[in-house]
Amino acid sequence: MGVNISAKFGKNDELYNGLTHIEDELHDEPGLVRTAVVSYRVKFGKRDYENGGAESLTIRIVEFEPLDGSAAVDAKELQRTAFKARTGNPMQDDLFSSQDTDDPGE
């Protein structure tokens, strides 16, 4: 099974797209890795019967709230804890962590 992401916010949902609030920052520092709180739900699923019945789901992001400062640091720690609980392994730095992040101590 695979999972895809749909993140289009319609006009009625724009309030929940926190990225619009920081669009100037995104433009000024496009390579910066940032942290956010994201809420999502399953939008739809489909099954490919020709290839063994593999199923894929698409989730819809319904809320996206960027974090900064201590909130970003706290969220990153929660993420690392959840990753370890899910995988049994400590979270390694991702592909982009060698670049600037929103956590100066990271």
Task: Select the more confidently predicted residue: 103 or 67.
Answer: 67
Range name among 31-35, 39-43, 62-66, 99-103 with the lowest pLDDT average: 99-103
- For the stretch 42-75, pLDDT in tens is 999 998 888 777 789 999 999 999 999 999 999 9
Query: Strand 2-6 vs strand 54-67: parallel, antiparallel, or unpaired?
Result: parallel
**pTM for this predicted structure:** 0.74
Residue 104 has pLDDT above 60, yes or no: no
